[in-house]
Amino acid sequence: MFDKLHEECGVVAIYGHPEASKLAYLSLYALQHRGQESAGVSSCDHRHIHTHKEMGHVADIFTTSVLKELPGPMAIGHTRYSTTGDTALLNAQPFSVDCNKGKIAVAHNGNLTNAVELRQDLERRGAIFQASSDTEVILHLVAHSAERTLTGALRDALLQIEGAFSLVFLAEDRVIVARDPHGFRPLAMGKLEMKDGKTGYAFASETCAFDLIDAVYLNDVQPGEMVCVGPEGVTRERFAPEQPRSQCVFEHVYFSRPDSMVFGRSVHESRENLGRFLAREAPADADIVVPVPDSGVAAALGYSSESGLPFRLALIRNHYVGRTFIEPSQAIRDFGVKLKLNPVRHLLEDKRVVLVDDSIVRGTTSRKIVRMMRNAGAREVHLRISCPPTISPCFYGVDTPTRNELIAANNSIEEIRRYVEADSLAYLSLKGLARAVKDDKSEYCYACYTGDYPTDLVSVAQLLATSR
Ligand code: AMP
């Protein structure tokens, strides 16, 4: 029914700018790291909703001629990493419908934990689904709602869905955005000051999108809040009772860009803290600190400044690796990793290295990188991971494999060390992680490190996913 439960995505919404679709496209450009499989933009010129979505990268999809077909002062956009096989384009977003509540388009970052039950119920009531993405469920709930107004129907739909959602909706005369009551995924609000003195608004998963389009970051859409921007101005309302917050800590560990503000704090600052605390908790007798680029860079900087060991960029990343490459028929050992990363022999020869990365998932990448360092002359490799061991899959929108495939779910740290062939291995503690993001009020979700999920996972799909 649902191809895949784990969707990593980026969303954007623009209101009140003559070139809204262009700003949405530029924002998606800045959010490309949140999903590389497909991207789409819907715009509205007060009469029609125009949508263009394709498989591939933002830069390749949106040409001048494509953007010309997306007119109007309002737009939403989506970039997606997910799914396999033929259904992938069908599941690309935004989804757009013309229903009894008018023309609506939606884009979603997150994962609904009760999508299976809702879909079965809707199908019993005659709903026909085109895609296997849980986002389509939301549109059906809106269409089926007994509420007469769009905002009423949205409120109704939002109260029925559970799990993680940062949603952007486009209607004929307005943009509406909402964030789930736990606030799993980020959603920031910004202001666009135009030359003619008019004000527009922008919403995006991360503030790095605002920097590119000259939007000023105002604040976050609050958990459980719906913000509506239309001809009457901006209205903000709480659609659900207050719940404990469960902001995804992995956004700060890995997922977001370091130049973004996420959940109101600098991602770079969090990552440097992760590295600093890691250096305190797990020092190493070594000569240099080397990050796995790009994910380990900020943490390695923190580790280096705390430990006093020099920071060296001794692994170089090729940023132009596409999705397909032609491998020689005679196998080259560790080809995939070699294509992406290459060591600087000059910096590594005879050195004892602290290698810093953000996480070990299956362990295969770390093992290849450790080998690569040794082949380039490193005498010792001490692997340091800037978060605790990943032991549980995410059901709130981060792509993690099943528990069976998570190396830390099934092995001790010493067993993992042996597998990745490091001289020593240490992870940051849970306490260290919480301190690094200044989680004084217990507002973050750590389920991937603890297995304690902040919501009920009643959906059959969750059970299927864990046993897959
Ligand atoms: P693995 O070989 O499975 O241990 O992969 C670990 C690498 O994957 C690390 O270098 C991480 O930066 C990266 N990584 C961790 N989590 C994710 C994720 N959810 N999506 C994509 N890459 C990830």
Q: Is residue 258 part of a domain?
A: no
Determine if ligand 1 sits within 6 Å of the CB of residue 398. Answer: yes
Determine if ligand 1 sits within 6 Å of the CB of residue 358. Answer: yes
CATH number of the domain encompassing residue 42: 3.60.20.10
Determine if ligand 1 sits within 6 Å of the CB of residue 370. Answer: no
Cα(236)–Cα(273) distance, integer angstroms: 34
Q: Is residue 3 part of a domain?
A: no
Question: Does one domain contain both 147 and 213?
Answer: yes
Residue whose CA is closest, atom 19 of ligand 1? 399
Cα(427)–Cα(413) distance, integer angstroms: 9
Question: Does one domain contain both 238 and 271?
Answer: no
The string of pLDDT tens digits covering residues 233-247 is 999 999 999 999 999
CA distances from 156 to 31, 101, 147 (A): 30, 13, 8
Residue for token digits 């969750």?
Answer: 462
Q: Give the number of the atom of ligand 1 that is nearest the alpha carbon of residue 364.
A: 2
Tell me the pLDDT band of 458, cut-offs 50, 70 and 90.
low
Q: Is residue 324 part of a domain?
A: no
Q: Is residue 170 part of a domain?
A: yes
| DSSP characters over 258-296 | TTSEETTEEHHHHHHHHHHHHHHHS----SEEEE-TTTT
Question: Does one domain contain both 298 and 151?
Answer: no
pLDDT in the model for residue 467: 46
Tell me the pLDDT band of 363, cut-offs 50, 70 and 90.
very high
Tell me the pLDDT band of 84, cut-offs 50, 70 and 90.
very low
CATH number of the domain encompassing residue 420: 3.40.50.2020
The string of pLDDT tens digits covering residues 178-207 is 999 999 999 999 999 988 899 999 999 999
Catalytic residue among 9, 44, 208, 445: 9
Question: Does one domain contain both 138 and 182?
Answer: yes
Question: Does one domain contain both 231 and 109?
Answer: yes
Would strands 175-179 and 225-230 be described as parallel, antiparallel, or unpaired?
antiparallel
> How far does residue 359's CA lie from ligand 1's centre (Å)?
6
Number of Cβ atoms within 10 Å of the Cβ of 26? 20
Q: Is residue 119 part of a domain?
A: yes
pLDDT in the model for residue 45: 97
**What is the chain's mean pLDDT, rounded?**
93
Question: Does one domain contain both 401 and 271?
Answer: yes
- Contact partners, residue 162, CB within 8 Å, separation at least 6: 112, 113, 114, 455, 456
Q: Is the per-residue pLDDT at 465 higher than 70?
A: no
Cα(301)–Cα(82) distance, integer angstroms: 31
- Three-class secondary structure of residue 354 per DSSP: strand
Determine if ligand 1 sits within 6 Å of the CB of residue 7. Answer: no
> How far does residue 360's CA lie from ligand 1's centre (Å)?
6
The string of pLDDT tens digits covering residues 321-354 is 866 667 787 778 888 898 899 999 999 999 999 9
Q: Report phi then psi at 127, rounded to 5.
A: -70, 140
**Residue range 402-428: mean pLDDT, rounded:** 97
**Residue range 284-301: mean pLDDT, rounded:** 97
Q: Which residues pair with 96 in a beta bridge?
A: 105
Determine if ligand 1 sits within 6 Å of the CB of residue 364. Answer: yes
Determine if ligand 1 sits within 6 Å of the CB of residue 337. Answer: no
Q: Is the per-residue pLDDT at 52 higher than 70?
A: yes
Number of domains in the chain: 2
Question: Does one domain contain both 377 and 343?
Answer: yes
Q: Residue 348: what residue type? A: L
Q: Is residue 2 part of a domain?
A: no
**Active site includes 9?**
yes
What percentage of residues in the chain have a pLDDT greater than 70? Answer: 94
**Residue range 55-79: mean pLDDT, rounded:** 97
CA distances from 28 to 11, 89, 102, 112, 204 (A): 7, 17, 26, 22, 9
Q: Give the number of the atom of ligand 1 that is nearest the alpha carbon of residue 394.
A: 19
Question: Does one domain contain both 344 and 458?
Answer: yes
Q: Is residue 121 part of a domain?
A: yes
Q: Report phi then psi at 459, rounded to 5.
A: -60, 140
Boundary of a domain, candidates 209, 243, 277: 243
The string of pLDDT tens digits covering residues 248-258 is 999 999 999 99
Identify which of 85-94, 273-282, 317-326 has the greatest average pLDDT: 273-282
Cα(260)–Cα(182) distance, integer angstroms: 21
Parent domain of 273: 267-318+332-465
**Residue range 200-225: mean pLDDT, rounded:** 98
Q: Is the per-residue pLDDT at 112 higher than 80?
A: yes
pLDDT in the model for residue 319: 87
Question: Does one domain contain both 167 and 61?
Answer: yes
Q: Is residue 306 part of a domain?
A: yes
Cα(272)–Cα(105) distance, integer angstroms: 39
pLDDT in the model for residue 464: 52
Question: Does one domain contain both 218 and 312?
Answer: no
pLDDT in the model for residue 336: 84
Cα(133)–Cα(172) distance, integer angstroms: 24
Tell me the pLDDT band of 3, cut-offs 50, 70 and 90.
very low
Question: Does one domain contain both 233 and 279?
Answer: no
pLDDT in the model for residue 90: 86
Boundary of a domain, candidates 180, 211, 243: 243
The pTM score is 0.95
Determine if ligand 1 sits within 6 Å of the CB of residue 247. Answer: no
Question: Which of 5, 6, 357, 359, when mutated, tests ligand 1's pocket best, judged by the most ligand atoms within 8 Å of its CB?
Answer: 359
Q: Give the number of the atom of ligand 1 that is nearest the alpha carbon of residue 360.
A: 4
> How far does residue 47's CA lie from ligand 1's centre (Å)?
43
Determine if ligand 1 sits within 6 Å of the CB of residue 359. Answer: yes
Question: Does one domain contain both 209 and 294?
Answer: no
